[in-house]
Amino acid sequence: MKKIMAKKFKCLFCSEKLYKNKYLSHLKDNHRHNYNSLLKEILKLNNAGYTIKEIENHIPLPEGLISVQLKYLSKNKKNYNIREPLKVDSWAPENFALEATTVWSFPERGKWATHNGKYRGNWSPYIPRNIILRYSEENDTVLDQFLGSGTTLIETKLLKRRGIGVDINSETVKLSKENLRFNKNKEYQPIIYNADARNLNFISDNSIDLICTHPPYANIIKYSKNINGDLSHLNIDKFIIEIRKVAEESFRVLKNNRYCAILIGDTRKDKHIIPLGFKVMEEFLNAGFVLKETIIKEQHNCKATGFWYNKSLQYNFLLIAHEYLFVFRKNCNY
The pairs formed by 223-227 with CB atoms below 8 angstroms and a separation of 24 or more are: 223/121, 223/148, 223/169, 223/172, 224/168, 224/169, 224/171, 227/168, 227/169
148 belongs to a structural domain: yes
State which of 29, 48, 80 marks the end of a domain. 80
pLDDT at 138: 98
92 belongs to a structural domain: no
**Residue among 195, 221, 212 at smallest CA distance from 276:** 221
Percent of the chain at pLDDT > 90 equals 62
Number of domains in the chain: 2
Mean pLDDT of the region 177-194: 94
Same-domain status, 60 and 175: no
**Each residue's pLDDT tens digit, 277-328:** 999 999 999 999 999 999 999 987 654 557 778 888 888 888 888 999 999 9
229 belongs to a structural domain: yes
pTM of this structure: 0.87
**Residue among 163, 162, 139 at smallest CA distance from 151:** 163
Give the range of the structural domain holding residue 268, as residue numbers without chain letter: 103-330
Strands 254-264 and 322-330: antiparallel
pLDDT level of residue 226 (50, 70, 90 thresholds): confident
pLDDT at 93: 97
CATH number, residue 111: 3.40.50.150
pLDDT at 285: 98
Q: Tell me phi and psi for residue 283, to 5 degrees.
A: -65, -35
Mean pLDDT of the region 39-58: 90
Which residues, at least 6 apart from 286, have a Cβ–Cβ distance to it below 8 Å?
244, 247
227: pLDDT strictly greater than 80: no
Same-domain status, 152 and 57: no
